[in-house]
Amino acid sequence: SNIEVVDGAAERLPVDDRSVDAIWAVNTMHHWVAVEGGVAEIARALRPNGRILLVDEDFTDPSHPDHERFGSDHDDEHHGFTMVDAETISDLLRAAGLTGVDTSSRRIAGRPVISVAARGTGAEGGT
């Protein structure tokens, strides 16, 4: 009863301002139509000190099992979706006022991933 799942898009989250404790998105960033809009929505929806974790598989890593299929044919376009640039996402999150932004490349479930974590801004007047 403490978790509510809602259907929406990154660029238009169907929630009130500063009403979400945690946002977790796995393998969705490469589908976002407007990355800036998605980040703005995250910043709008996240409660003070709420948490966000964004994870996308890194198909450009040659160790990824699907690297040849999805990660090696083109520079930015891979079978109709755009590869995620973690630094761009981090910069956008910081510009939107999120704090504690941490970007890493690591392995989850044996696959290389891009991971970006952050917190919502603190209470009014601080972080």
Q: What is the pLDDT of residue 59?
A: 83
Among 98, 97, 94, 70, smallest CA distance to 84 is for 70
Mean pLDDT, rounded, for 68-74: 68
Q: What is the pLDDT of residue 125?
A: 42
CA angle, 113 as apex, 120 and 71 as ends, to 5°? 130
Count, in order, helices (H) and strands (E) of the chain: 2, 6
Residue 127 scores a pLDDT above 60 = no
pLDDT, one tens digit per residue, over 17-42 is 999 999 999 998 888 888 999 999 99
Residues 6+ apart with CB under 8 A from 124: 48
Mean pLDDT, rounded, for 62-80: 69
Q: What is the pLDDT of residue 7?
A: 86
